[in-house]
Amino acid sequence: MHAIEEGRERQSVDRVPDSPDAEPQVDLGLLPWETRSAASLDSRDAAPPDYSLWMRTPAVGRELAQPIVAYGTDLTLIGTALRPVAGVSQQDAGTAFTSAVTSHTLWFHRPFRTDDWLLLRQHSPVLAHGRCFGRGDVLTSAGSLVASYAQEALLRFRD
């Protein structure tokens, strides 16, 4: 809903790691493109509520960049919220807990391509009252912040 225009620029984000090539490949099942991460959302060990995922698609037109990122950012925030919960992982959906996204919002800041590495860096600050919340940034491998996102989800444990 915004036409690109010239003007002042500023950003404040942590530095992007040098290269995702050393990170293990991750199979999220629902993403038909290359993904890499040092952490696992399938681990049942308690960990901080942070997760970073590298993604890169085959060559596609620029008109597909925003829809691809919209889809990619919707898949791992519930798993990120679960990381501090010992004994549970995103693999336990439907057995140990029920979840459903209730709100997912994206803001696009700059043009970008998806056939070069993008880093989805996310954090979940709260899980409470049957809901979880997370937010994240999408950065290019050069460190340019190209999008931000936030999500709230229903998260009800069976115990």
The mean per-residue pLDDT over the stretch 58-85 comes to 95
Q: What range does the domain containing 81 cover?
A: 62-159
Is there a domain that residue 41 lies in?
no
In the prediction, which pLDDT does 44 show? 96
- Written as six digits, the tokens of 144 are 């340019």
User: In the sheet where 145-157 sits, what is the strand order?
Assistant: 34-36, 50-56, 118-128, 131-140, 145-157, 97-108
In a domain, 155, yes or no: yes
* Inside any domain, residue 15: no
**How many domains in the chain?**
1
What pLDDT does 141 receive? 94
Residue 110 resides in a domain: yes
Question: To the nearest 10°, the Cα dihedral for 11, 113, 135, 106?
Answer: 100
Alpha helices in 4-155 (DSSP H): 65-72, 77-82
Residue 40 lies in a domain: no
Q: In percent, how much of the chain has pLDDT > 70?
A: 99
Would residue 112 count as lying in a domain?
yes
| pTM recorded for the entire structure | 0.90
Domain assignment of residue 54, yes or no: no
Q: Which residues contact 91 (CB under 8 A, 6 or more apart)?
A: 42
Instruction: Let me know if residue 70 belongs to a domain.
Output: yes
Residue 2 has pLDDT above 80, yes or no: no
Q: Indicate which CATH number applies to the domain containing 112.
A: 3.10.129.10
